[in-house]
Structure 1
């Protein structure tokens, strides 16, 4: 399975991010291209622990999280369309510098090459292994790149 911890996979993701432009249009969902890029950057920073976030699993996640996690990382099946973003990752700003945001996301993708955040707890899935984080981080990036045809 693909993981962001694989250098070739990171290079593939970066190549796909570079195909996005300010004229890219979503094939599904409510985000525009700037919102998707900012969402993806903010999400990667959360996983990487960039801003020292406080991690907490939500109540529904405590009940269903492990089962949902296993379902999401068991194979190469892409994430389904129109999955709602966690409330901390909804981007309200509709405009911004797309090229600057692409650069920021690319930098975060590259940072997975030296991932070291044992404190990471997904807000729904809970505690994840390094392997699960790598697979899911790839799937999350792939999901949004496919959303914009990249």
Structure 2
């Protein structure tokens, strides 16, 4: 399975980001391209910041989604979104895209980190799982917009 920590997958994601354009319509879902770009920043920030979460992971969510995070099988369309990552207002695509681009680079740069705090939703993850999850999330949304 691809990981954002792998050089080839990292380069692929950066190239796909350059194919996004303002005004693109999603193939499914309700987010605009600006909202999607903002939404994709949230999990990258969680991984980069590596903060200790005060919130305990929900075992039901973990059970339902964790295994699907680490398989080559694509995610279902229209999966529920964490309230923290839900874009409720308009997001300016041209302002958000460079931020996402830099966050992808920053996340890739922490690939050699030795200690990872538990994910606030999915709990304990290995570095390999963090990289796979981030790739799969970005791939899902870039596919949503046809890139």
Does the 8 Å contact 1:2/1:138 carry over to 2? yes
In structure 1, the residue matched to 2:26 is 26
Taking only aligned residues, the RMSD between alpha carbons, in angstroms, comes to 2.1
- The runs of 5 or more residues in structure 2 that have no matched partner are none
The 1-side partners of 2:35 and 2:60 are apart by: 30
Gaps of 5+ in 1: none
Partner of 2:53: 54
1:70 aligns with 2:70: no
Q: Check conservation: 1:3, 1:134, Cα contact below 8 A.
A: yes
TM-score, length basis structure 2: 0.87
Q: Is the 8 A contact 1:28 1:81 kept in 2?
A: yes
Match of 1:83 in 2: 79
Counterpart CA distance in 1 for 2:7 and 2:35 is: 26
Structure 1 residue 86, shift from structure 2 partner: 0.2
> Hey, what's the Cα distance between the residues in 2 that align with 1:142 and 1:55?
29
122 and 55 in structure 1: CA distance in 2 versus 1, 3 angstrom threshold: farther
Q: Say if 1:7 and 1:20 are closer, same or farther in 2 by CA, change over 3 A.
A: same
Give the C-alpha shift of residue 30 in structure 1: 1.4
